[in-house]
Amino acid sequence: MNHYSIYWIKEEFAHFFYYRSDVLYRFIKSYDSHQNREDLSMQFKYITMDIPENLLISHIMKYHPSHVTTELEANSLKIYEDMRYISLHIEEKRINFRGDIIHDAEDLLFPALRSFQPYFFVVGDHRYDFGWISPVSLGKNKDETGQVLYSYL
């Protein structure tokens, strides 16, 4: 089974890092490797939101249709449908889950997370295995850095 971690990134940083996902990925990997470094720990706490465990579990359990089974155990939530299975472990700043393939999470977990909050960033164990669970919209606000992505000059 593959292991993935999901982080709830604060909105302002989600907007800033949406097109710079590789920077966010490298930072999270650095933090995971060196959690004793105070500078990384402070930055990590600053850009991430605490995960409200009970509220999120309740939301996930209510979200799924009847053919998807959810089981709450002491320290995990299991979600399965037919041969697909995901095991969630929720911590203060991250959701850890295991599954055979990321596509199982796309069907069983990510839709519920998207309806809860759009600013979740997923990091896998393999190199360059990361991404947002949903597109981050800039909405009516422009990119305040003034950067131009496309030019018709």
> For the residues 131-150, what does the mean pLDDT come to?
61
Q: In the block, which residue shows the tokens 């309740």? A: 58
In the 8-state DSSP scheme, what is residue 145? T
The bridge status of strand 95-99 relative to strand 84-90 is antiparallel
1-5, 30-34, 50-54, 135-139 — which is least confidently predicted? 135-139
Q: 59-107 pLDDT, tens per residue? A: 999 998 888 999 998 889 999 898 899 999 999 999 999 888 888 899 8
Q: What is the dihedral of CA 21, 112, 57, 104, to 10 degrees?
A: -80
Report, at the CATH architecture level, how domain 2-132 is classified.
2-Layer Sandwich (3.30)
131 burial level (CB within 10 Å; 0-12, 13-18, 19+)? middle
Whole-angstrom distance, CA of residue 33 vs CA of residue 19: 24
In the 8-state DSSP scheme, what is residue 134? S
Average predicted confidence (pLDDT) for the chain: 87
pLDDT beyond 50 at 149: no
Instruction: Tell me the domain boundaries of the chain.
Output: 2-132
Model pLDDT, residue 132? 95
